[in-house]
Structure 1
Amino acid sequence: MIELDGLTKRYGGKTAVAGLTFTVRPGIVTGFLGPNGAGKSTTMRMMLGLDRPTAGRVRIDGRRYDQLQEPLHEVGALLEAKAVHPGRTARNHLRCLAYSNGIPERRVGEVLELVGLGAVADKRPKGFSLGMGQRLGIASALLGDPRILMFDEPVNGLDPEGIHWVRTMMRHLAAEGRTVFVSSHLMSEMALTADHLIVIGQGRLLADTSMNAFIRENSRSYVLLRSPEPERLRDALAAAGHRAVAGADGGLEVDGAEAAALGEVAAAAGVTLHELSPRQASLEEAFMQLTHESVEYHGRAQPPDGAPPGAPRGPGWGPGAGGPGTRGGEG
């Protein structure tokens, strides 16, 4: 279990993390979300003792990270996949980590096979692709068979098979009762992986809730109905106390009702339905809704109205609100 209590980090006059308090519990995958510059990486570095908090504290199973006698046996982390010695082979990189933490050498071969790098174990990582580097970083995190695992962008550079493997692995680790904490910008993947969400913006806690509750509380859910007799359907629904509004694509949308109940209303009125489907926003839509005010830089999908092709764009258009080429710092 990981416990944060009032965790704060300031750099001069800038507050990167502001009083974060939350608990990462075992047995589930906890997703860590936030826009660029939200303070995610800084928070994870403080969890691992790589940055010293300005205020507050982090406890890993009741202790600070620097109080752990053999940390790789208790916490495995992937923060920077390319943080390896360029002159060592993948096998020797893991051997050094194992030796420093009292881990049997046989475990090196096990994790190399587990992450799919057995065939390149004696090659130097400087020639690895981004995805292979990620696999080696994951192998390092798993080396000590720890009860707590932390991953920052673990599927970065992986192909679809690799992404599926990471997702399955994390859910399997959580099912074993381990604490799994993962940060990612891939909302579609997080929606398939995480059970619980911690969301921060501008260094502050915005949400600490289950995946289902997060989507429900930060988006609109409704039932979509389509019929060749839309007016009869609208009248039947109104008579039953349901307010139907026209959707953008020609259907009728009803909030606050179960699909089954609406189907029964249509059947009782003898109205034919071509579609009856519950609709709910995606994790990405809910995340955008919650964090909109916490985003440092907002881009536009199109140039300002009336701007000819190739014309200079003013502030507020392009990759960052500060002008073309501007981008936020990574969380």
Structure 2
Amino acid sequence: MIELEGLTKRYGEKVAVNNLTFAVRPGIVTGFLGPNGAGKSTTMRMILGLDRPTAGDVRIDGTHYDRLKDPLTSIGALLEAKGVHPGRSAYHHLLCLAQSNGIPARRVHEVLDTVGLSAVARKKAKGFSLGMGQRLGIAAALLGDPRILMFDEPVNGLDPEGIHWIRTLMKSLAAQGRTVFVSSHLMSEMALTADHLVVIGQGRLLADTSMAEFIQRNSRSYVRVRSPERERLLDVLHGAGITAVENGNGTLEVDGSKAEHIGELAARHQLVLHELSPQQASLEEAFMRLTAESVEYHAHSDTPASAERWGDGWKEGRA
């Protein structure tokens, strides 16, 4: 288990992490979400003792990271896949980590096989693609067979097969009773992987809840109904005290009523329905709604006036 209590980090006047308190529990995959600049990487670095908190406390199974004996056997982490000496082979990189943490050398071969790098184990890391580097970083996290695993953007550079593989791996690790903490900006993948979510914005905790509850709380749920007898359907719904809104393409949107109830009501009045479907926002939509006020960097679709001027000037100069 990872436990944070009042964790705070300041850089001068900038508060990167602001009084975070939450726990990452074993047996489930916990997703760590937040906009760019929210403080996710800083939080993960403080968990691993790479940054010292300004205030608060963080413990790994009740112990500070710097007091762990052979820390790779307690917590494995992927924070920066490029943190490998480019002239060192994948095998020797992992062997060095193993020897420094009292891990048997045979474990190096096991994790290389797990991540699919056995065939390139003796090749230097400088020749690795981004995806291969990610796999090597994951192998390092798994090396000590730890009870706690932490991954920052683990799918970066992976192809579809690799993304499916890491998703399955994280789920299987959690199913073994391990603590799995993963940060990602790829919402579609997080929706398929995480059971629980911790969401931060501008360094503050915004949510600490299950995936299902997070989407339910931060999105609109409604039922979409379509019938060739739209006017009569509207009358029936109105008579039952149900408000339906026409959305302009022949369908109705109903809030506050379940699809089963609407279907039974239509059946009693012998109404033909061509569509009856519950609608709920995606994780991405719910995330965008919750964090809208916490986004630090806003991009705009309009072309900046300065760019237009430079473009015109450039064209004029060439004319």
Q: TM-score, normalised by structure 1?
A: 0.91
In the alignment, does 2:49 pair up with 1:52? no
Q: Offset of 1:192 from its aligned partner? A: 0.2
Q: Offset of 1:302 from its aligned partner? A: 4.5
Answer 1 or 2: which has greater helix percent: 2
Specify the alignment match of 1:221 in structure 2: 221
Q: Offset of 1:250 from its aligned partner? A: 2.7
Q: Offset of 1:170 from its aligned partner? A: 0.2
Specify the alignment match of 1:23 in structure 2: 23
Q: Offset of 1:63 from its aligned partner? A: 0.5
Q: Offset of 1:258 from its aligned partner? A: 1.2
Paired amino acid for 2:158: L
Runs of 4+ aligned residues of structure 1 deviating over 6 Å after TM superposition are: none
Seen in structure 2, the aligned counterparts of structure 1 residues 239 and 57 have a Cα distance that, compared at 3 Å, is same
Specify the alignment match of 2:165 in structure 1: 165
Specify the alignment match of 1:274 in structure 2: 274
Seen in structure 2, the aligned counterparts of structure 1 residues 286 and 248 have a Cα distance that, compared at 3 Å, is farther
TM alignment of 1:1-331, pairs within 5 A = 1-303=1-303, 311=308
Alpha-carbon distance in 2 for matches of 1:171, 1:162: 14
Q: Helix, strand or coil for the counterpart of 1:311?
A: helix
Unaligned runs of 5+ in 1: 314-331
Q: Helix, strand or coil for the counterpart of 2:260?
A: helix
Q: Offset of 1:303 from its aligned partner? A: 4.8
- Segment drifting more, 292-301 vs 153-162: 292-301
Q: TM-score, normalised by structure 2?
A: 0.95
Specify the alignment match of 1:325 in structure 2: none
Paired amino acid for 2:12: G
Unaligned runs of 5+ in 2: 311-319
Q: 1:158-212 CA distances to partner (integer Å, 9 max, x unpaired)? A: 0000000000000000000000000000000000000000000000000000000
Q: Offset of 1:300 from its aligned partner? A: 2.9
Specify the alignment match of 1:318 in structure 2: none
Q: Helix, strand or coil for the counterpart of 1:46?
A: helix
Alpha-carbon distance in 2 for matches of 1:253, 1:82: 49
Percent of aligned pairs with the same amino acid: 75
Alpha-carbon distance in 2 for matches of 1:240, 1:248: 23
Alpha-carbon distance in 1 for matches of 2:234, 2:257: 14
Q: Offset of 1:240 from its aligned partner? A: 1.4
Alpha-carbon distance in 1 for matches of 2:248, 2:208: 33
Alpha-carbon distance in 1 for matches of 2:58, 2:300: 39
Paired amino acid for 2:200: I
Paired amino acid for 2:97: L
Q: 1:239-279 CA distances to partner (integer Å, 9 max, x unpaired)? A: 11211111253310111111111011111112111000000
Alpha-carbon distance in 2 for matches of 1:250, 1:75: 55
Specify the alignment match of 1:326 in structure 2: none
Q: Offset of 1:301 from its aligned partner? A: 3.5
Q: Helix, strand or coil for the counterpart of 1:163?
A: helix
Q: 1:118-157 CA distances to partner (integer Å, 9 max, x unpaired)? A: 1000001111000000000000000000000000000000
Alpha-carbon distance in 2 for matches of 1:171, 1:228: 45
Q: Offset of 1:229 from its aligned partner? A: 1.4
Q: Count residues with an aligned counterpart.
A: 309
User: In angstroms, what is the RMSD of aligned CA positions?
Assistant: 1.3
- Segment drifting more, 262-271 vs 190-199: 262-271
Specify the alignment match of 2:317 in structure 1: none
